[in-house]
Amino acid sequence: MTFKNEKRIPPVIRTVVADRSVARFFSATWPGADDWKEVLTLLYEEGAAHPRDVTTDGPGTFAERFGGHHAGEDETDFRHQSAERFASELVSVLETARSENEFGKLVLVAPPLFLGVLRKKIPTPLQQMLILELNKDYTAAKLDKVAKQVQAKLKSNQPRP
């Protein structure tokens, strides 16, 4: 029974295939997940850049109290910094879509570094919609390959009657 003011959960599964430079958003009807379409692509140029192209020529030097010098290093390397920034942007897009009731289930497909960053950034309402995480890099894969991989994993994760 659905009440008048209660949001209905749409029968749509949103799959996000991402790394630190590109994110592809797919939608399909739940539970079959067989009518896939790509709905959005986000590009993050800084994530695709090589660290030497966006950072200075070397670490800074610092004078010590008694005349010595030492070199400083960034606390977080470039790969993690770009992943953090892009993950925040991606989660913002997902949160907007969730608040507009565009999907009811969520699947994340990303390489290990980026998947870990996404896990930390995803708020509780999105976590509750998350039904599958794949630790793979399919950002350059064709739609049908992504669909087959996700469908196979969803079928293997379903409880048997």
Cβ(23)–Cβ(86) below 8 Å: yes
Residue 55 lies inside a defined structural domain of this protein: yes
In angstroms, the CA 61 to CA 137 distance is 38
| Predicted pLDDT at 53 | 46
Write the single-letter amino acid at 124: T
User: 91, 126 in Cβ contact below 8 A?
Assistant: yes
Number of other CB atoms surrounding residue 46 within 10 Å: 14
Confidence (pLDDT) at 131 = 92
Q: How do 69-71 and 105-109 pair as beta strands?
A: unpaired
Q: What is the pTM of this model?
A: 0.73
CATH number at residue 43: 3.30.420.60
Residue at 6 is within a domain: no
Alpha-carbon span 17 to 57, nearest angstrom: 33
Domain that includes residue 145, residue range: 12-157
Q: Which two tokens stand for residue 58?
A: 């070397």
Is residue 16 in some structural domain?
Answer: yes
Q: Is residue 129 part of a domain?
A: yes
* Residue 2, in any domain of the structure: no
pLDDT recorded at residue 94: 93
Count of domains in the chain? 1
Number of residues written out for the chain: 161
Contact 83, 117 (CB under 8 A): yes
pLDDT of residue 58: 58
Residue 4 domain flag: no
Compute the distance between CA of residue 70 and CA of residue 73 in angstroms, rounded to an integer.
10
Residue by residue, pLDDT tens for the chain (161 residues) are 455 555 677 788 999 999 988 999 999 887 766 788 999 898 876 644 444 444 455 555 656 666 665 555 544 455 577 788 889 999 999 999 999 989 989 999 999 988 999 999 999 999 999 999 999 999 888 998 989 998 888 888 765 44
Tokens linked to 73: 């290093």
Residue 5 lies in a domain: no
Question: Quick check: is 3 in a domain?
Answer: no
What pLDDT shows up at residue 65?
A: 64
116 and 137 Cβ atoms separated by less than 8 Å: no
pLDDT of residue 96: 93
